[in-house]
Amino acid sequence: MNNEQKLKAAFIEALGLNESTNVEALTYNSIPEWDSIAHMALVAQLDDQFDIMLDTDDIIDISSFEKAKEVLSKYEVEFV
């Protein structure tokens, strides 16, 4: 699994989404599944999956799938 797929899987797992969800189009609070509670679950999932510890500032910044990629790049997680 490449990092993009790993990230997608993390979103699906943490937010409890259907496999077929268009994760790339999601934004924070745009669907009931991605609320503040689920956001914490997502952060925990990202910490674990990529073996990092997200900074609190970055936690707020993860407001979409694209944004998540941008933030993770700061932690040397590469997306091609």
Q: Which two tokens stand for residue 25?
A: 């189009």
Contact between 51 and other proteins by CB under 8 A: the answer reads: no
Residues 9-48: x/- map of binding to other proteins (CB under 8 A)?
A: --------------------x------xx--x--xx--x-
**Can you state the angle between helices 3-15 and 36-50, rounded to 10 degrees?**
140
Contact between 74 and other proteins by CB under 8 A: the answer reads: no
Q: Which two tokens stand for residue 36?
A: 């503040």
CB atoms within 10 A of CB 11: 23
Site residues, other proteins (CB under 8 A): 29, 36-37, 40, 43-44, 47, 53-57, 59-60
